[in-house]
Structure 1
Amino acid sequence: MNETTSQDELMNSMKVSKAVAQMAIPSVISSLVTVVYNMADTFFVGQTGDPLQVAAVSLTNPIFILFMAFANMFGMGGSAVASIAMGEQNEKRVKNTSAFVTYASLFVGVIFTLILFLFMNPILSVFGANVQTYDLARGYMLHIAYGAPFIIWSAAASFVVRAEGASKEAMIGSMIGTFANIILDPVFISVFGMGAAGAAIATTLGNILASLYYLWYFLKKSLRFSIHPKYFQCKNHLLTQVCATGIPTAIFSALMSISTIVLNQILVAYGNAPVAAIGIVFKANMFISFLQMGLANGVQPLLGYNYGSGNHVRFVSIERFTKKCCLIVGVLSTILFFVLREPIIRLFISDADVVHYGVLMLVAYMLSGPVIGLLFVNMNCMQSTGNALPATILSILRQGLLLIPLLYLLNALFGLNGVIYGQALTDYIAVIFSIAIWVVEKKKFAI
């Protein structure tokens, strides 16, 4: 049995639990690698014992989230479009999709680099940097800026590679960048004494190495994809379908960036310790949400392929099995984090004030952990059917129209103790809406 036949069996006829495991486990590992990757900078900067360094990394976090917004748009959108094209046996469109994702990602990355270099000072002011954290945050952003094309493309490429059924290869790419970052972080931060700026250099170098791996994959390993310039095009609705399909994920990340800026602006009024604490909590809580996001993202090619081929019974079986897995993983990981809440914060830093705020915030943020996976699966189901609008609405609600007003309202009513519960409250509302919307959408598609 050749490799192409094996991948067709995976998408078409393999037992659902086995197919989900084969696709989702590498995706979950990749997601956890991403969590470790994101934790690494905060962890090693925290080992300096300087809360201001940690706060500086926290303040610049919206930039990285914004990079991920475009990476997710191109990656998730490209993965969905490519999966449907594979189901339809449209080989040329598969190649067009991978080429489009590659060059669009690099172009947007260069634009980001120019914007950050030209407008770095006003951007940092908007992010909430003050006299104590401004120079530290600027040093971090400076080195993240020129890494933008590599950060965006390496993340987008991992989604596209996974659409071909090559989950292991996507995982390897993620691990290369992460391990490089973990190795280089202490070198630049502590050995060279560069602090937050050293963390940014390590992050950029890790993404450059990951990009080189994906370049090799597309040139030498891929069975269906190509990044040859001759396949790059925006016509035949390719641009609109990739962007429209991926835009819910992009909006989710972009609004997360905006809400993070709003949250930092609110928290900085209470001092730099809460700002440092929320940066740690964001990274720690990613473990719970990314476990479930990895499950949901891993099965997206299966969903897209079976929708494209008209196998709706298999589509529903994959959806239901994945949701059960998300619920189990969500409950267990939330319990684990609740039991270990203080040691988790102390793992990053021992500053008493930061630990105090961090424990309170982590408990508040993990409240939606058991059910957040349902939202991710429902959104991926919508995207896999090429119906991006409902998923877009959910993204806007979760990270924008609901969260941002709630943050201001809870701050006005209950102060800092109210603000930290805004995300969990928003998550539950979004999960309920996603269930209701997906029930309606399934009827439209006769699924």
Structure 2
Amino acid sequence: MVENAARLGKEKITKLLLSLSLPATVAMMVNGLYNIVDTIFIGKGVGALAIGGLAIAFPIQMLIMGFAQMVGIGAASAVSRNLGAKNYERAKFTVSNAYIMILLLSAVFALFGSVFVNQLLLVFGATEALMPYARDYIRIIFIGSVFFSFAMTSNSLIRAEGNAKVAMTSMIIGAVLNMFLDPIFIFIFKMGIKGAALATIISQFASFVFIITYMYSGTSFLKVGFHHLRPKWDIITEITAVGSSAFARQITGTIFAIVVNNSLKVYGGDIAITIFGIVNRVIMFLLMPLIGIGQGMQPIVGYNYGAQKINRVKEAVKISVLVSTTLAVFGWVIGESIPHIIIRIFTDERDIIENGATVLRIIIAMVPFVGIQFVGAILFQAIGKAAPALILSLLRQFIILTPLILVLPRIFNLGLTGIWLAFPIADILAVIITVILIKREMNEISLTQKPINTGSSK
């Protein structure tokens, strides 16, 4: 509990980062594997167009994730800093207010989405052929969104108190159960894409039950009393401000999906949308370890920033950049070496395999450098600086990539190729800006805050 969090300010940074990032990375990889397997089952059991339908519905699912991440990351940052400053009662109020927020937000979003599902899918680029698949999938996702949101928010809070293994277990339970249920519902019960959505909801409910059990087991700081269950607007404001960067990242991802899906519909049609649906899942899987590193870094930076141990903050950032870059290079080598084999896992259609392999190679061209951007965004979230965190969250997809997708195919007459080229261009520009902001922040905290000498961080 409190003692477990205190080690964030004492143990060797490399040991801490390993202990917190490894469970998060394993959990993210398992979750990413679930996304891959889910897409494979849909492609093989329902058809390639069903993958296109999934590509239309998935950004809406990302929007639900955005609300959960806004609350979870914003609250986790506040909890880490309050534990570091020994403000334990405020940390508990932060936890309770996070749950109040997520329950209300997810319920409102699920109701709105269920009522306006057809209109939403049209906005997200659904074609006549893809609409039935997307609608069947997302309707079921809406029903169980509250469990999905609760689990995601809780995992951020669990990591904030230093129990990364519990957060990992929660995610693994959901992902593994999902992979087990997918073939049962798709192939045995012949439920098609509806079966994939039902498997997702049942799996998230299982994670929900596990988290509730953990919270009231007596080993978690997250167990709050009834007197904590009342809104505190200053806490809600803090959670929203810090978490807004994570929410903005999902919102810009949603806006990006609207732009890219509709652009693909114009320049490439159903096949282009399907290819992007496959490639996007592959890239997400390759980048999952980087997200795990960031999640492991967040409580370390947040706690030590709150405790005024600035040298430990700097060391955590440096090591995280090194590790995330190494992992990014590893993923890039795999993607560039065997793209045809990767795409063939999802479909047997020759045109999709050939074109998909080329698209994958183009889109991941600058991936070796993106680890820096992941670390930069998490850094500013962890220290509670909402403005730069928001800028970095908006930077790649909204400020750079989305305009490029609109400009390159039309103004430069590059067509479909221009859409694919926009990705590596956006990656390298975003990384350059992130490096500048990180260096500036490291210089500022050295000048404006006096570290407390509590011993070596080594």
With the shorter chain as reference, the TM-score category is over 0.9
Once the 2 structures are TM-superposed, how far is the Cα of residue 268 of structure 1 from its aligned partner? Answer: 1.8
The 1-side partners of 2:225 and 2:145 are apart by 22
Aligned to 1:46: 43
User: In the aligned structure 2, how far is the partner of 1:126 from the partner of 1:260?
Assistant: 10
CA distance in 2, matches of 1:233, 1:303: 29
Q: 1:27 and 1:40 mapped to 2: Cα distance?
A: 20
Q: Which amino acid is the alignment partner of residue 424 of structure 1?
A: P
- Distance (whole Å) between structure 2 residues aligned to residue 46 and residue 144 of structure 1: 19
User: What does residue 173 of structure 1 align with?
Assistant: 170
Residue 318 in structure 1 maps to residue 319 in structure 2: no
Shift of 1:406: 0.5
Is it true that 1:244 corresponds to 2:253 in the alignment?
no
- Match in the other structure for 1:339: 337
Identify the residue that residue 90 of structure 1 maps to in structure 2: 87
Note the aligned Cα RMSD (angstroms): 1.6
Give 1:115 shift.
0.7
What SS does the corresponding residue of 1:367 show, helix, strand or coil? Answer: coil
SS of corresponding position for 1:62 = helix
Q: C-alpha distance in 2, partners of 1:220/1:336?
A: 42
Q: Which amino acid aligns with 1:215?
A: I
Matched residue pairs, number? 444
Tell me the SS of whatever aligns to 1:230.
helix
Q: Which residue of 121, 126, 130 corresponds with 1:129?
A: 126
Q: CA deviation at 1:228?
A: 4.3
The 8 Å contact of residues 49 and 350 in structure 1, kept in 2 or not, is answered as no
Instruction: State the Cα distance separating 1:438 from its structure 2 match.
Output: 2.1
d(CA) in 1 for partners of 2:272 and 2:354?
A: 9
8 A contact 1:49–1:351 mirrored in 2: no
The answer to whether the 8 A contact 1:49-1:349 is kept is: no
Matches within 5 A, 1:50-69: 50-69=47-66
Instruction: Tell me the CA shift for residue 29 of structure 1.
Output: 0.8
**CA displacement at 1:432 relative to structure 2:** 1.1
Q: Identify the range of structure 1 (176-185 vs 365-374) with the bigger mean alpha-carbon deviation.
A: 365-374
The separation in 1 between residues aligned to 2:228 and 2:2, in whole angstroms, is: 21
Separation (CA, whole Å) in 1 of partners of 2:285 and 2:48: 22
2:406 alignment partner, SS class: helix
Counterpart in the other structure of 2:286: 288
SS at match of 2:446: coil
C-alpha separation between the residues in 1 aligned to 2:201 and 2:37? 13
C-alpha displacement of 1:222: 4.0
Cα distance in 2, alignment partners of residues 221 and 352 from structure 1: 55
The alignment's TM-score, normalised by the length of structure 1, stands at 0.96
- Residue 332 of structure 1: how far off its partner (Å): 1.5
SS at match of 2:86: coil
Residues 160-239 of structure 1 aligned to structure 2 (within 5 Å)? 160-235=157-232, 237-239=234-236
**TM-score w.r.t. length of structure 2:** 0.93
Q: Give the counterpart letter for 2:349 in structure 1.
A: D
Gap change, CA 1:376 and 1:233, over 3 Å in 2:
farther
Structure 2 unaligned spans of 5+: 448-458
Distance 1:415 1:287 in 2: 27
1:96, distance to aligned residue in structure 2 (A): 1.2
Residue 110 of structure 1 corresponds to which residue in structure 2?
107
Task: For 1:222 and 1:69, locate their aligned partners in 2 and report how far apart those are by CA, in whole Å.
Answer: 29
Does structure 2 conserve the Cα–Cα contact (< 8 Å) formed by 1:78 and 1:97?
A: yes
Structure 1 pair 335/221, CA: closer, same or farther in 2 (3 Å)?
farther
Paired residue for 2:141, among 141, 144, 147? 144
What is the rounded CA distance, in whole Å, between the counterparts of 1:84 and 1:212 in structure 2? 28
Q: CA deviation at 1:411?
A: 1.6
Q: Quote the offset at 1:288 in angstroms.
A: 2.4
Q: Work out whether residues 106 and 150 of structure 1, in 8 Å CA contact, stay in contact via their aligned partners in 2.
A: no
158-167 vs 267-276, which deviates more?
267-276
- Secondary structure of the 1:220 match is coil
Tell me by how many angstroms 1:280 deviates: 0.9
In 2, Cα distance between equivalents of 1:354 and 1:331: 26
Question: Relative to structure 1, is the Cα distance of residues 42 and 255 closer, same or farther in structure 2, using a 3 angstrom cutoff?
Answer: same
Write the deviation string for residues 230-286 of structure 1: whole angstroms up to 9, x where unpaired: 313442621111111111111011111110121111112212111111111111101
Q: What is the alpha-carbon distance in structure 2 between the residues aligned to residue 202 and residue 243 of structure 1? A: 31
Q: Distance in 1 between matches of 2:224 and 2:71?
A: 14
Partner of 1:386: 384
Give the drift of 1:88: 0.7
Partner residue, 1:407? 405
* CA contact 1:105–1:152 (8 Å) conserved in 2: yes
Question: What CA deviation, in whole Å up to 9, does each residue of 1:361-382 have, x standing for no partner?
Answer: 2112212321111111111111
What is the CA distance between 1:221 and its match in structure 2? 4.3
Post-superposition CA distance 1:376-412 (Å, at most 9, x none)? 1111111122111012012222121221111011221
Q: Percent of aligned positions with the same letter in both sequences?
A: 28
Check conservation: 2:63, 2:254, Cα contact below 8 A. yes
Bigger mean CA offset, 383-392 vs 171-180: 383-392
- How big is the shift at 1:352? 1.3
Amino acid at match of 1:427: D
Could you tell me how far 1:94 is from its partner in structure 2?
A: 1.5
Tell me, yes or no, if the aligned pair for 2:46 and 2:193 is still in contact at 8 Å: no
Amino acid at match of 1:180: L
- The structural deviation recorded for 1:119 is 0.6
CA–CA distance in 2 between the matches of 1:305 and 1:281? 37
| Structure 1 letter corresponding to 2:429 | I
Q: Secondary structure at the match of 1:56?
A: helix
The Cα of 1:287 is off from its aligned counterpart by 2.1
Say which SS state the counterpart of residue 386 (structure 1) adopts.
coil
SS at match of 1:110: helix
Q: 2: distance between equivalents of 1:228 and 1:342? A: 55
Partner of residue 329, structure 1 = 327
2:71 counterpart of 1:81: no
| Equivalent residue number for residue 425 of structure 1 | 425
Matches within 5 A, 1:1-80: 4-9=2-7, 11-48=8-45, 50-80=47-77
Q: For 2:3 and 2:108, how far apart are their aligned partners in 1?
A: 41
**1-structure distance, mates of 2:227, 2:3:** 27
Deviation string 1:8-54 (CA, Å, 9 cap, x unpaired) is 23x12211211111111011111112212322321110112611111
The one-letter code of the counterpart of 1:358 is: G
Pairwise CA distance, 1:7: 4.3
Instruction: Look up the equivalent residue of 2:394 and give its one-letter code.
Output: I
Residues 38 and 87 of structure 1: CA distance in aligned 2, closer, same or farther (over 3 Å): same
